[in-house]
Structures are given as structure tokens and as C-alpha cells.
Structure 1
């Protein structure tokens, strides 16, 4: 699928015919004034010159402007860009040891000239822990990113023309990078210089006509916030990174006064499909030019302009799209029987004593099914009265009416909130840590 005329391939961004004063970054009171196209080109050119000879650079800027300049400065210098999974000092130190240079918010360079074409064969290296917590390096080439951006522009380009992008999602995350920076830059839209970690920070920005890039970790924390006035509302709120609960989608619609759309994808493939969150449970619709089918095993096979990929997500294809049925790696064997962890979680969530629950298989000489539960108000009272051991036995007894013996959790942890990543995704590694110490 060809990119719309208004989208510039990333490798040719320097050749974009844009007014020198066109805004690249905005943000009231954040030094956004003057961060225009002419300055962007000059700073990228100077950064590229300062990074001459770099083959792989670690990019760890929090400031959106510095991140954009550093990203294209590294690419213009011919370097692979390494993005960290988080900004913890030990993570940055480890990755810095694998790179030639580190580009952070303090990196400075004299202005220079940026006029050449970037090598389209260069790639951006994401570092993600996935669902297991094991570090994984994922390379995405500029051509693949161009294909994703072209599909997004075909879907929403006209609707979001001129809309600045405010990202609450870190730019080192694949979703944050594409939706919060690369797509806006390719389409000639501005980005907010400041990343807003908390919803209340985002609401203080000038959001009129903007697009908000968020995640369930943000949209589940809207309680107590006042809705935006009609003249301050964004055009669209996007969410990705983890499933978005319907209650959170409803809260976001009410607070921002704008439609909410959910994105499904992966670090390896980028965005795959979207669905409106205007109530109910609609099917997922593949992006323009994308096609999804189920394999013989019921797994998702993606046909995109850049190639074909298979994911470990089970799906059901319907006339109006497809539905996600859970991860294939969420089916485990216990005592010779297949146990669907998603099914155990769904049954747990129906109990009056349970607000949220996640189930995992703990490794050991004898694999053990374990559950991490956030009690409901009723459950919290029962837990306080009975203690953790008896409360776990109570839940296990309630589940036994629906599930066979092998599907009943044997170990329990009760928490105020489920451990999650910055985007609201629970990982088995983070959950397993709760079982490393004896139960209180």
C-alpha cells in the first residue's frame, strides 16, 4: 500500500518541503516556542556530525524534542538506534556497555546541515521483556515502520490532520514511538515536548484538537478528575499496551469528551488492528492493507504490506473482524490435563470476593498453579476476618463447582493492586516474584 502524499518516508524526512517555521514540538511553558522545522533540521544535522562513526547508539531522552533530535541524529549518522525498556540506572548502564555512544537529554551539539537521505536499511532496536520477563531485542527497520505509518495515515490521516500528539506512553515503547513521534513527524504534525506520566498532568496541557496516546495504566486512574470543557477536548484518545477495561474506556470518554480507540499489536509487528471503545465489545478491525486469518491451530497470522507474521494469540475470525481468545502460551499442562489460565481467571473474576485476578504456573519439581488476587470490598472484609489461608481455601472451594481439580490454584497471594508494567500489562515474571517469599 502506497503512503498518502502527506506522509514522508522516515529515511527521506530531511527532504520534506515544509515551512521553516512549522512547529515540530509544542507545550505551553515548556520551551516549545521556536521548536520548528528549521531548528529541527539544524539540530539533527549537528547531532549527526557529532555522532560520526557511531555504529550503535543508546537513546535515552525523556524530553520529546531531544528524543526526536537524537533519534534522527543517530540515524543520519548511520547508526542503529537502541531504545531501553525502561529508564532504570542499571538497565541504562547495561545497554550503554553494548553501544558506542549514549544520547541523553544532556547531549549537545552545534547546529549543522541535514539534507541527505538516511540509509533505509537502518533499524531501531527495541528492548522488551515480553510476558515472561526475559529481555528480548526486537529490530524494526525503517521500511517496516513506514508501512505501519502509511496504514495509520490511511485510517486516521484526514481525521487527525494538524492534530498535535501528546504521548503519555514512553517514546522508547513501540506504541509510544510510532503514535507519539514517528507518525506525527512523517505527517507534518507537531508533538508535545513533555511526556505526561499521570492523567492529571495531561489534562493541564492544551489538548484542544490533539490526539492523546495513552494506555490502560493511565486510563484506569481517572477517578476524581474533572471532565474537560468542550473547548479543551482532544479529537481522539488512543490506548494500547494491554487490554482496556470497559469501565476505563467509559471513564476516558467522559473525562476527555472524545472518542476512544483501542490498538492491538506487538513490538515485532507494530499496530495490527483497532476497534472503537464506544461501549460493548466490538470486534478488532485490521488496519488498511492488512489481513488477519487463523492458522490451523487457531493462532493469528498477519498478512501486512511488509510481510507475514504469526503471533501466539488465539483468535476467532468473524464477518466484521476478529476476536482475541487469549494467548496460546496461556494453556498449560497440570497433572496431564490441559488448563486454560484465561478460563481460570475469568471464573475467579465472577466471584463476589474478587475484583481482579491473574493466574500463573510456578516452575519447580512439581509445577504449581498459583493465583494473585485483588479482593473486592466484600472480599477484603472476609480476608481480614479469616486470614489469607482460609480465604484462599474459600475461593478454591467456590471454584471447584466450575472447574476440575487440576484447574484449581494451590497457592495464593492477595494484593491491593496487580503488579504491572508502565502500560498496565501484567507479566508472569512480576507475578512470580510475589511467591518467592512465604505468604504473610
Structure 2
């Protein structure tokens, strides 16, 4: 397959009968997409709209809403979710909210409509488009990031260069929302520009997605969802996906192995961010798993080991079209691949001592009673640490035998063999599963909220 620009696609670079999306078991053609974009843009052009938001359950209407706003020259805002509080917080800067379902009590809400007539080929200004995403990173604090459709075109071009031949004309399924940059890039923009149909629905459960497979496909998922494959039967050879892609957080090696048993292939992981897009990729289960930069991305290490990069699909807000510093430390292998060694914002000072939260998490997780751990800084005037811990089978046995208080003292005693007692966690919370967002990221705010409930 070959990439075409969005402007050329809507101007007729592919036949009107070309299938761009699949919705409710029906094909949606390029002619239908063009007609729906034109119709909804005309509806909006009668209003004075400078900033519009799009919140859609389906990926097809999401695309229509984004393109209709770009067509009339409006900035696009993509709220991370459709919760009432999120939308109320943005209401003061929105002239319209486009959706594919009822708008309820939302002010300026407009439901997207299907056109009853055809539309001529169209062109519009992609370069000057602005799409605002929201990212929380590891902290949970929301940050706005501006991108253009041109950046998505550049990213799709390198992805197609790398994996287009492997994918062929395989349709795209997804378990991640298009409201975030990873879902929009991999579920919608890449297949759209490469000429592959994408399924409008994103699945929150595996069973309906697997039931819908009808031949080779591409599946876009997240680490959080790929750790929930237990109990699923292996996909029949004729329906095995050609590629399973994931991003947002590292995929645990045991989840990669389980995914291979179910899908017949090891997931391809992508490392990147909302600000800079995809940076590097890897596919494997051996440790340590090294990252291979994409051919269009230049990666370097600053004197203190901090990741520096230059990418043609990074937001100008962070790159300024040049090198930009990230929040990760890396080390290079001789072949140019790199190892992630933790975030620079995860070093805190406790009792006058600098503590690496990542290193402490590793120390806790190496104990026989622990499967996984998350450590955060707590307290305002006097800082201390708290730990959320998922116990191993041996740990569950031991905590029931000793009780929580004595079990915590045992953990601290073991850790004191390698760590100063003054910096060990003072508050503990034991859970069946670790808190993660929809992409499998662990946010400081979620971990802290669990610990605060133990006070």
C-alpha cells in the first residue's frame, strides 16, 4: 500500500468506491466520507466557530467531526473522555461540541449527521490545522498538546514504510480509544492514508473483537488490555492477525508470551508520547528489551543520560523543529538501539536523601512476597513515601499468616538490608491489581489516591 496525503485523498486520489471504514458490518466508501464531511462542514459554517470539540464513540464519526472542523478552519479540541466534569471544564472555550450520540445537557452540542447527497472532491488546508490533545503523563496532571494533521501524515508515512508490506490490505481493529493520540494515529490515520479499512468500533472486551475477525488483520491494543488475555482460546490460524501493536507503557514479558499463544505473533511495542509521536519500536520477550528508533527519528543522549530526540512528527510546542529533551534516561547499545533506564522526574528527596523511586520499586518487587510495586512521594510539609503492592501467591499466604502490621514490618526489615530505613515507605496498600489508565500507564495521582484511602 502507499500513503496519500489527506488533501489528495479527499480530492479523489482513490476511487469513490474505495472502502475507508467498516461500521455495523457495512463498508463506508470514500464518497460517503466526503459527503458526510462536506454536509457537516456546511452545517457548522453558518455559525461562528473558532474552537470545536469532538467526542464520539465511533471512529468513523470521530473522523467526520475532526475533518468538518478543519474544513471550516476551526481548531479541534479532543477531550480525553466524555465525562460531564471534563466537558464542563472545557465549556468556556468551546463554540461547539460534535458527537455521534445524544448531547444531553452539554451546551452547544451538535450530533453529526449523514448526508443525503453526494459531494464533489474537496481540498482543505491540512498544514494549518490544529488539534489539541490532553495528556497526563505519569503525574496525572492534564497538559494540552497541539498537533497538526501534517504531523499525522508524516508519521503514517514512516509506519507504512516499515510495516506496510507485512500488513498488505489487512483491516484494522482496535481496543483503544481514538480520543488519544495513539489510537488516532494507529487505528485511524495510518490505515486511512495507507488505504486500509478500519473498524469504527473500538472494543472494550476481547471476545467480540475476536469473534469479528474474518481473516488477517491488524489489532491496535494497549498493555493494560494485553494483560487480560487469560482464558482466551488461541485464534484460528486463518484469522490470526498479521500485527498486534501496543503503546503507552511497557508490555510485561509474560503478557507478550501469552499474546503470542493467543494471536500467533508477538506484539510490536511503540515507545513515544503525545508530544513527539512514535519514537522507537521493539518486538520480543527477552530482557533487557532494547528499543530501535524509527528511521526518521534521531535519538541522542545528553551528558547526564537524558534522552534527546529530533523528529519530523513532533509537536512544535516541544521541539521547535529541533532537538527536544525528554523525561527519560537512556543508555545505548553498540548497534544504536537503546535501553530505557527510568524517568528523571522519579528522583525525590526524603529526609535529606535523594531516592530513585524506580530503583526502590525494583527492590520491593525482587522480594519473594511481591509481584509488582509502585512507590510515590506523599506529604506536603514533610515528605515520605508510600507503596502500592501486588502480592505474589507466597505474599498472600504470608500476609494472612502474619497480619498486615507484622507483614509490613517484615517487608521493611528485608528492604533495610539494602536501603536506609529513613527512606523506606511508611504507608502501604496491598491490591489485587495495580492502578492503570486505559493505555496501561501508571499515574502518580491514581497510586497516591489508593494510599490516601488507607489513612
- Residue 134 of structure 2 aligns to a residue in which SS? strand
User: What is the alpha-carbon distance in structure 1 between the residues aligned to residue 41 and residue 9 of structure 2?
Assistant: 14
* Equivalent pair of 2:281/2:291 in contact (CA under 8 Å): yes
User: What is the alpha-carbon distance in structure 1 between the residues aligned to residue 2 and residue 44 of structure 2?
Assistant: 30
User: What is the alpha-carbon distance in structure 2 between the residues aligned to residue 354 and residue 25 of structure 1?
Assistant: 45
CA RMSD of superposed structures (Å):
1.7
Q: Aligned residue pairs: how many?
A: 432
Note the C-alpha offset of 1:93.
3.0
Query: Given the two structures, how large is their TM-score scaled by the length of structure 1?
Result: 0.94
Q: Give the match for residue 421 of structure 2.
A: 405
User: What is the alpha-carbon distance in structure 2 between the residues aligned to residue 369 and residue 80 of structure 1?
Assistant: 42
1:244 aligns with 2:260: no
Note the C-alpha offset of 1:130.
2.0
Query: Given the two structures, how large is their TM-score scaled by the length of structure 2?
Result: 0.91
Aligned pairs for 1:31-430 (under 5 A) are: 32-52=25-45, 53-106=48-101, 107-109=111-113, 110=115, 111=117, 112-113=119-120, 115-206=122-213, 208-306=215-313, 307=321, 308-320=323-335, 321-430=337-446
Q: In structure 1, list runs of 5 or more residues that go unmatched.
A: none
* Equivalent pair of 2:224/2:438 in contact (CA under 8 Å): yes
Q: Give the match for residue 105 of structure 2.
A: none
Aligned in 2, Cα 1:388/1:332: closer, same or farther, shift over 3 Å?
Answer: same
* Equivalent pair of 1:263/1:271 in contact (CA under 8 Å): yes
Q: In structure 2, list runs of 5 or more residues that go unmatched.
A: 102-110, 314-320
* Equivalent pair of 1:207/1:234 in contact (CA under 8 Å): no
Note the C-alpha offset of 1:390.
1.7
Note the C-alpha offset of 1:375.
1.2
- Residue 2 of structure 2 aligns to a residue in which SS? coil
Aligned in 2, Cα 1:279/1:208: closer, same or farther, shift over 3 Å?
Answer: farther
Q: Which moved more, 1:140-149 or 1:172-181?
A: 140-149
Q: Which moved more, 1:390-399 or 1:102-111?
A: 102-111
User: What is the alpha-carbon distance in structure 1 between the residues aligned to residue 126 and residue 299 of structure 2?
Assistant: 31
| Residues 81-104 of structure 1: CA deviation (Å, up to 9, x unaligned) | 111112222212322442111111
* Equivalent pair of 2:270/2:278 in contact (CA under 8 Å): yes
Q: Which moved more, 1:376-385 or 1:217-226?
A: 376-385
**Greater than 6 Å deviation, 4+ residue runs:** none
Q: Give the match for residue 25 of structure 1.
A: 21
Aligned in 2, Cα 1:349/1:203: closer, same or farther, shift over 3 Å?
Answer: same
